[in-house]
Structure 1
């Protein structure tokens, strides 16, 4: 998201040219699919983690440019808010050691980055929403210096024509307005990337959609925003509202939001790119001089830059990705539903559950999504975001069931099978899926630990909500660096 742009204004001609180019890219992409021009020989996986910066008091530290300069590692990049940074780990195959390699690499990188961040007066916290964020932290000066973010801000509000309304009814109620997209920066997530063959993409994307609610319920870690206890995973509803380009009238007409679960199962990756082009106007109409049809005809690999840029401004929870590495094109699923944290081992346990489940479901002779309506998957997703690990979800052949019971009795065995199919080392498989098992048995994940700790501090020490949130955040950061899974963290 942090790619630099040089333009600051767009003309009508810019928008018309971009529309023509993105449609041409879509035609070329369809031709590439029909001619099987994609790299499928050594499928890779990827991992990105968005992070928060805090000061000694646990408050957001608006210093990402200083921290990134101190870290001096190209794996770390800017993000939307000045209190955000992101780490992108090098892709690798799963295989026997893939999950363990990701884990050791992420731990080593975060430990080194934390040491250097401290020299800039900051600390790194891996959490879905920073609990100490307040409305006053969110203004035009919150956005990082990258011109891309300022352009997105301008374009979203130009499309909307009025302030953003944030209205979240959870355990408590939050109602506020924003004249900038800065509230989106509160949403810090983990993204898992899974490269697949184009002819199996639909199975992996459908499987990802079907389990999204389960992922969110088990991995919830964002119960607080602006001092209010809202959803177990408030990041979901906040992200949906903070990037909404629609006026109330357009919502009433059924115009699709830019943060979108979708509305149907698919039969091809082309379905998703075609929907993006058909339903969404350009936010950043930046065109280059490449003629993708000519590049393809000459035996080259087109970058399809306009299609990729446009795709990056439609925020599907499971996003289709077209990319080119070393001149070879590939496609992958980007799974974006989970919050960051609480620890590296928790992040990798969530990864094991995701990679294992989607492989097992994609390999089934009778696909799950032929037994389940798409609307049921979406309802599961939002119910899980509201209620977290205590949610009840619908599952084919069972009906409505507590999510922890579903995971323990039905889904963990599937995830074991899926990781076996990837060739993951059995010891890593059992260790990481064991973390998920213990979360479900104990009923404790990041969200429940945060809420229990804040309530205990309020009740036993008579501190204010703000003081309790600051103290909880400091304790969270200490436990995070221990790398002990969240279900083992002590209470107050």
Structure 2
């Protein structure tokens, strides 16, 4: 969850003071990194999963404040919209039977939250975009009652000086204007975290960038928005356009944008990302923070308003030592708990294998190629054709099946993940390929067979989700 703030309105002096603090903390960060003052702890796994609260008609139910207050769970938080929540994990060493443990942890939290929703005559649903969602649901009256969100809305609209414009060309074309940032709440994600030593961080960041095309394709679960069939993973263009504002000089249409694939690999250090934050992105939330520079509070809050699909984060070990995490933001929420953990296993294994190769030989493909691959994959899913190592043009389905699953196996083995865990969860990914059924493909097949009955589709989707079976085994009936 994003960091809450005390106020939602600011004056110019607030921005000036904040920028001075941000400069100070960024310079301190560079000095500590140069002295290797960051955690050297072995990789640690974690995640955040966003979900929908829906009523008995499978429409969004804006009750998250009451729901969370009465649930009273330490891993459950509000999201931008009153009909969304976020469930977090606890940090878990990325070794041994890590995925079995993460599945048990998420399943326990999910079951508790689901039972509580049912006690309130509602349901919880994990999906990339709710098929029954209407544009009229995305209004400020349905914004969660947090200063952070009100301030973001005010600052983003002020920096743009015009309404948000959505224009997504997919199987169908959706074009509309919207007058607040609530469009962003239509996108719900499974955000995967990995803590890595500083010396490895920029290599793992680059590996995550290269892995993004395969991950976003095989995890695709968001084809429909407001009744329109768009991309396999429509969250990607939706989120980028829903908070479309850029760097200094109003460059909202330029190469440096707040929601983006990034501008380049990190060449020498992960510090380059935080320096880019300082140099290129205006402050949106100039909160007065009474903290020491070593807490990096201003830097962390500013970083939280820049949404790269792969985003470096600053955190702290239990002993107070700062650490680096990479947050991989491309997968959609759902379709099930076991699918989510399998998605994480594939990401961790593939990114670790690519990281090892990068450390030995450098990035195997140019950044521009990795970026193009990502958007092709988000649009066309596992049927996308991308440019791979050596300039080979290959269908993603074939590449994942023949090469990338094997890379993930090797990556997980090098992390010390147990063979049983590796095989169990990567087999789920392989079954998804063999059955040609991602969450997106299931949704499209349902609509093809049943017509555009999004209520029935959502009801059937939820029934399948509650069965606990991975999406590759779902039926349409």
TM-score by length of 1: 0.93
Partner of 1:93: 93
Shift of 1:289: 3.4
1:375 equivalent in alignment to 2:368: yes
2:416 corresponds to which of 411, 423, 434: 423
Partner of 2:121: 121
| C-alpha distance in structure 2 between counterparts of 1:279 and 1:109, whole Å | 39
Partner of 1:470: 455
Partner of 2:314: 322
Shift of 1:168: 0.7
Shift of 1:34: 1.1
Shift of 1:44: 1.5
Shift of 1:225: 0.4
Pairwise CA RMSD: 1.6
> Aligned residues, how many?
474
Tell me, yes or no, if the aligned pair for 1:404 and 1:441 is still in contact at 8 Å. no
Q: How does 1:266-285 map to 2 (within 5 A)?
A: 266=266, 267-285=268-286
User: SS in structure 1 opposite 2:91?
Assistant: strand
| C-alpha distance in structure 2 between counterparts of 1:75 and 1:408, whole Å | 35
Partner of 1:461: none
TM-score by length of 2: 0.96
Q: How does 1:85-234 map to 2 (within 5 A)?
A: 85-234=85-234
2:303 corresponds to which of 294, 311, 333: 311
Shift of 1:121: 2.0
User: SS in structure 2 opposite 1:48?
Assistant: strand
Tell me, yes or no, if the aligned pair for 1:21 and 1:287 is still in contact at 8 Å. no
Runs of 4 or more off by more than 6 Å in structure 1?
none
Shift of 1:427: 1.1
Deviations 1:243-295 (CA, angstroms, capped at 9, x unpaired): 01259x95587252110211211121111000111110000011323342xxx
User: SS in structure 2 opposite 1:166?
Assistant: strand
| C-alpha distance in structure 1 between counterparts of 2:155 and 2:344, whole Å | 34
1:388 equivalent in alignment to 2:373: no
| C-alpha distance in structure 2 between counterparts of 1:481 and 1:127, whole Å | 13
| C-alpha distance in structure 1 between counterparts of 2:252 and 2:25, whole Å | 32
Partner of 2:396: 403
In structure 2, stretches of 5+ residues that fail to align are none
Shift of 1:388: 1.0
| C-alpha distance in structure 2 between counterparts of 1:348 and 1:2, whole Å | 23
| C-alpha distance in structure 2 between counterparts of 1:47 and 1:279, whole Å | 28
| C-alpha distance in structure 1 between counterparts of 2:80 and 2:264, whole Å | 30
Partner of 2:354: 361
User: SS in structure 2 opposite 1:185?
Assistant: helix
Tell me, yes or no, if the aligned pair for 2:353 and 2:411 is still in contact at 8 Å. yes
Partner of 1:287: 288
Tell me, yes or no, if the aligned pair for 1:368 and 1:396 is still in contact at 8 Å. no
Partner of 1:298: none
Shift of 1:371: 3.0
Deviations 1:31-52 (CA, angstroms, capped at 9, x unpaired): 1101111121343211110001
Partner of 2:65: 65
Q: How does 1:232-247 map to 2 (within 5 A)?
A: 232-245=232-245
In structure 1, stretches of 5+ residues that fail to align are 293-301, 459-464
Q: How does 1:20-31 map to 2 (within 5 A)?
A: 20-31=20-31
Tell me, yes or no, if the aligned pair for 2:244 and 2:252 is still in contact at 8 Å. no
Deviations 1:96-120 (CA, angstroms, capped at 9, x unpaired): 1211110011011111110111112
Tell me, yes or no, if the aligned pair for 1:361 and 1:368 is still in contact at 8 Å. no
User: SS in structure 1 opposite 2:245?
Assistant: coil
